[in-house]
Structure 1
Amino acid sequence: MGYTLCSWPTVLLINTSTCDLYEHEDTAKIVLPVFYSVILMLGVVGNGLALTVIFKNRKKINSTTLYSTNLVLSDLLFTTSLPTRIAYYALGFDWPFGETFCRLTALIFYINTYAGVNFMTCLSIDRFFAVVHPFRYQKLRRVQHAKGICIFVWFLVLSQTFPLLLQSMSNKEQERITCMEYPNFEKIPNLPLILLAACLIGYLIPLGIILFCYSQISYKLVQTAKANPLSEKSGINKKAINTIIFVIVVFIICFTPYHVAIIQHMIKKLYNQDKTPCNDQQVFQKSLHYTVFLMNFNCCLDPFIYFFACKGYKRRIMKILRRQVSVSVSSAVRSPHEESSRDVGETQMIVLSKSSNGKLLEK
């Protein structure tokens, strides 16, 4: 399963019948639906707006735009799974939609996680080639090659996540049916080692690649600025540094808390082979519910990556915002003015009418 196991929100939870893993239910069924409703609204608006601009600029697509487009599509796909998750949390971790829907939402969830990590890594490598090796690896940045890389990434993502459809995702636990909590995976042999290896491949290595790209780009820009101070004003260099900085920020905010929770708990399991104390299980379960939310929050932040990476997108978004503000202001200003003008016009017509009638009567 690889990184898929690392992404599952609840693992290594033993003796769930004697240990209440949902003691934070009263808080969670209020807070989590609110959190995920915000993700749903911002995700649909932000990624929908990005996709609209992408469609209008489809003739000017390049490698950076292509990776960003796939990131946006992945996020829009993810938003389709949120309504059922919101209901699940609102009902107190009780899944009423059946096993099939549970498997589908799990599949969509992990597709988004995989695609987000992989395409952000692709974006960082693309910016690295654009700045550090602008001529040596031009072929890799051609649209046709970028399309091939995107196809390969989706193939990799689907091959890793499709087995989820063959797994039982829901589980009857006392008075509730949980979905994507997976206490049954504790029976997998050497699970701590598997999860640590999966986190290494799915999080630490991509983060290492992104940090390497950032350090090399920064070094290159510093050297270029020393040789030619005017190069600091280069739009390409600024776009590259903004893109990769924001990718790092998204990684740290969204993906780090979850993987730190997984890694520290798995290391603790390796050193303590005895039964995990109930309190540790509860803390782990609670931390995963909220760190998974942070990981899903990348759905709202990804459009900003497109904002920094693609100059045309930024210009169009600012144009749309200015147009909306202008329409709102003009409507607020013109409405009273138009009404007063209409009143003045009507008054003048009445005066002229009376004047005309008076003249006619005099005749």
Structure 2
Amino acid sequence: MDVNASDWLVPTVDAELDACSNYTEAWLWLSSLQPAYLGFISVVGLVGNGLVLCVFYLQRKPCTVADVYLGNLAAADLVMMTCLPFWAVTIARGYQWDFGEVLCKLVNVAISMNYICSVLFLMLVSVDRYLALVKPMRTSRLRRAAWAKRICLGIWSLGFLITLPTLFFRTLMFVEDPGVDACILAYPHPAWRLHHNITRNVFGFLIPVLVVAYCTCHIVVELSDRGVLWFPGVRAERKATYLVLAVLAVFLFCWTPHQAMLFLDTLDYFQVTPGCLWGHVLDIGIQLSTYLAYSNSAVNPFLFVIVGKHFRRRAKEVFGKTLNPWSKDMSYLTVSFTSINRLNETQRISIDHLKKSGLKETIS
């Protein structure tokens, strides 16, 4: 019996040791891909979110409540894209942070705020679509642009408060093994890691997703009801809702794996799944899921263009005038030249008439 047990145990241990020895190779391979990937999504996200904000800011029509929330979502994504190049450079230099301790704190606070604020803005825009389609006859302060701006200010403040531990505990520290000055999250007690994971899982995902799921279920029911289209303005609200649903779906696709990894990391804190192999798989999984989550900020602008018909129309109006600023002047000049030509033609006809009348001396 003991012989059989040892026969099974030895291959298991050998496999685990092989996995642990291959961990460094896997990490180096992942680190070699990260700088290029972060640089790519940063460029795409900066351009895309910048254009989205320009459309919302330069459009003539007043912003709706959904525009306010989606504009703040684009602003949060833009902040994220601004911060990622710092980490692209750092990873390319072997995790050597050369930007000082102040930027070490601020960059990571901004990245953490992006996630919290993004999911809360998406929750609010989902609630707005719920009120617009499911409760179209009810008037609510939540459907006023002025109140939406105040709520957004509160969301930014809440995101900053939630990320205060990052501000306090992110620091620049020399790490002996790689021999670099690394920007790390140095918690004073391991329990802070548990607090970080639970806060993100519960307040940054579970509660907002439950609210979004409730609103989305009712929205889908209303979208399938053709009778609701007879209400004034509901047809336009319906078109805008498709954009919101697409943004929500992509958000869940990009961020759910990261939330699952945080939950598994919490289980690892309680040593529910001990072992070298599990710890290394979890480390790699958290890295991969994190960068999938970051890509959400670069994808959102494309959803505005692909799904949002109203947004495309507004973008054409804004950038059509921006890219052709001389259109009004050219139209004015065209009208002026036409008027002058008509005046000259009239004068020419008058002169010919006078010549025929023998009054050449009068006009010479």
1:237 aligns with 2:255: no
Report the more deviating stretch, 166-175 or 98-107: 166-175
Deviation of the 1:309 alpha carbon: 8.2
Structure 2 residue corresponding to 1:140, chosen from 136, 139, 142 = 142
Q: How many residues align?
A: 304
Q: Distance in 2 between matches of 1:95 and 1:24?
A: 22
Deviation of the 1:200 alpha carbon: 1.6
Q: Distance in 1 between matches of 2:231 and 2:123?
A: 29
Q: Distance in 1 between matches of 2:100 and 2:21?
A: 25
Give CA deviations for 1:39-69 in whole Å, capped at 9, x if unaligned.
1111111011111111211642111111111
Structure 2 residue corresponding to 1:161, chosen from 153, 160, 163 = 163
Report the more deviating stretch, 119-128 or 21-30: 21-30
TM-score (norm 1): 0.73
Unaligned 5+ segments in structure 2 are: 1-19, 322-364
Deviation of the 1:19 alpha carbon: 9.4
Structure 2 residue corresponding to 1:299, chosen from 276, 297, 300 = 297
Deviation of the 1:124 alpha carbon: 0.7
Q: Which amino acid aligns with 2:246?
A: F
Which of 1 and 2 has greater Rg?
A: 2
Report the more deviating stretch, 155-164 or 105-114: 155-164
The percentage of counterpart residues that share the same residue type is 25
Q: Distance in 2 between matches of 1:292 and 1:186?
A: 24
Give CA deviations for 1:274-324 in whole Å, capped at 9, x if unaligned.
xx433222211111112111111121123245447865421144578999x
Residue pair 1:170, 1:177 contacting (<8 A) in 2 also: no
Q: Which amino acid aligns with 1:121?
A: M
Residue pair 2:80, 2:110 contacting (<8 A) in 1 also: yes
Residue pair 2:169, 2:187 contacting (<8 A) in 1 also: no
Q: Distance in 2 between matches of 1:80 and 1:194?
A: 24
Q: Which amino acid aligns with 1:258?
A: H
| 1:8 corresponds to | none
Residue pair 1:26, 1:92 contacting (<8 A) in 2 also: no
| 1:342 corresponds to | none
Query: CA 1:95–1:25 in 2, change beyond 3 Å: closer, same or farther?
Result: farther
Structure 1 residue corresponding to 2:46, chosen from 44, 47, 64 = 44
Aligned ranges 1:81-96 → 2 under 5 Å: 81-96=83-98
| 2:178 corresponds to | 175
Q: Distance in 2 between matches of 1:73 and 1:234?
A: 28
| 1:111 corresponds to | 113
Q: Distance in 1 between matches of 2:170 and 2:233?
A: 55
| 1:131 corresponds to | 133
1:264 aligns with 2:257: no
Query: CA 1:44–1:135 in 2, change beyond 3 Å: closer, same or farther?
Result: same
Deviation of the 1:193 alpha carbon: 6.6
Residue pair 1:20, 1:282 contacting (<8 A) in 2 also: no
Q: What's the C-alpha RMSD, in Å, of the aligned pairs?
A: 3.4
Q: Distance in 2 between matches of 1:237 and 1:80?
A: 33
| 1:188 corresponds to | 190
Query: CA 1:305–1:135 in 2, change beyond 3 Å: closer, same or farther?
Result: farther
Deviation of the 1:71 alpha carbon: 1.2
Q: Which amino acid aligns with 1:189?
A: A
3-state SS of paired residue (2:174): strand
TM-score (norm 2): 0.73
Structure 1 residue corresponding to 2:58, chosen from 56, 59, 73 = 56
Report the more deviating stretch, 24-33 or 79-88: 24-33
Unaligned 5+ segments in structure 1 are: 1-17, 324-363
Deviation of the 1:250 alpha carbon: 2.1
3-state SS of paired residue (1:93): coil
Q: Distance in 2 between matches of 1:117 and 1:226?
A: 32
Deviation of the 1:195 alpha carbon: 2.4
